[in-house]
Amino acid sequence: MKKSTPVLLATVLVITPIILGARITRWRQTQDAFASGTRVAEYTPGNYKLTVTVEDTPREYILHLPQHYTGKSPLPIVIMFHGGGGTARNAIWQTEWAKKADQEHFLAVFPEGTPHDPSRPASFRRNPQTWNDGSERIGAAARHVADVAFVAAMLNDLKERFTIDARRIYVTGFSNGASMSFRVARELSQVIAAMAPVAGADWLGDTPPGRAVPLLYITGTADPQNPFEGGEVRIGATSYGQKASTQDMIANWVTIHGCSDEPRVVYEQEGETGKAYCRHNGVDTMVVYTIVGHGHHWPGGRSALPERVAGKNVATLNATDVIWDFFQKHSK
């Protein structure tokens, strides 16, 4: 069985200030200390844009340090992968994971995908950022971008800079970012404690993970970009490949987890149903939420796409809250 080993490739570390809305994030002149490999403790709560170099390519991510961060106690990490065409800042706005990090005291990490033309600013329509989710369909996947190596390098970078709980590293994502979280959980399964893809496909059904990573999955039944019954994924006149049905994808993960029990309902309200498929030592390790009539939106978050493209936003549950509740129950 093939496994991926995280390897940090001659990483160059840079800090720059960023603006999220009207907020200018805090930063310090500490590049020399990073270059020497010294852990730097002078961070204060806020947002930081950080850079690592992977295969001679600078890769960026935004880190949100929660309120009351001191660096004295190890904290969990939640990595949130933006959707295709999105950005890290868009993911912060859309999902409110930074706000959740302040409430629950963990590091929220928002990586940037790669645009078609790195020399120009990212743009949803003109220069979309995407992830290499293993599908080989379009964008970063067709270009075979080293995104798993980027995630491994990013985690090594975070371990060098901050006091983290290496047993509690989680991945989530939306759309193409959900597919990326599936891939990371498969290929870095010895690192990831749990995953929670939202409205995305697992394109690597034939690639068994090294361990059965706990899984929470959320999707709508009326999502035109992630067809519940499977089939062709289209945006306008453009085809983005064929995906398996949600039922078939879940059945594959049921096999990976070795589930033997019938699924039981753990949540049911106004067309929203959560079913637990697997349970280990009294803890659910595989839970699937379906939202009847919901389109391509982060449930409970802000909508980045118009209804004519993404369908209706009818969710009443908050995906960020549901996912964090699941993550808290799992560690490696």
Radius of gyration of the chain measured on its C-alpha atoms: 19
Cβ proximity of 92 and 110 under 8 Å: yes
Residue 259's alpha-carbon distances to 111, 183, 187, 231, 252, in angstroms, are: 33, 21, 21, 26, 11
The per-residue pLDDT for 234 is: 73
Neighbours of 57 (CB within 10 A): 14
- The dotted CATH code for 14-327 is 3.40.50.1820
Judge whether 120 and 22 are in contact, CB under 8 Å.
Answer: no
- Tell me the pLDDT of the chain (332 aa) as tens digits: 434 433 333 333 333 333 233 232 333 322 332 222 334 457 889 999 999 999 999 999 999 999 999 889 999 999 999 999 999 999 999 999 999 999 999 999 999 999 999 889 888 888 999 999 999 988 999 999 999 999 999 999 999 999 999 999 999 999 999 999 999 999 999 999 999 999 999 999 888 999 999 999 999 999 998 999 998 877 666 777 788 899 999 999 999 999 977 899 999 998 999 999 999 999 999 999 999 999 999 999 998 788 988 999 999 999 999 999 999 999 99
Q: How many CA atoms lie within 13 Å of 278's alpha carbon, on the beta-carbon side?
A: 19
DSSP 144-209: T--HHHHHHHHHHHHHHHS-EEEEEEEEEEETHHHHHHHHHHHHTTTT-SEEEEES-----TTS--
Which residue carries 């919901």 as its tokens?
Answer: 294
Q: What span, in angstroms and rounded, lies between the C-alpha atoms of 14 and 42?
A: 15
DSSP secondary structure, 215-280, as one string: EEEEEETT-SSS-TT-EEEEETTEEEEEE--HHHHHHHHHHHHT--SPPEEEEEETTEEEEEEEEE
Q: How many CA atoms within 13 Å lie on the side-chain side of 57? A: 15
d(Cα 111, Cα 291) in Å, to the nearest integer? 27
Tally of CB atoms within 10 A around 280:
14
Say what the pLDDT of residue 17 is: 34
Whose structure tokens read 């982060």? 298
pTM of the full structure: 0.87
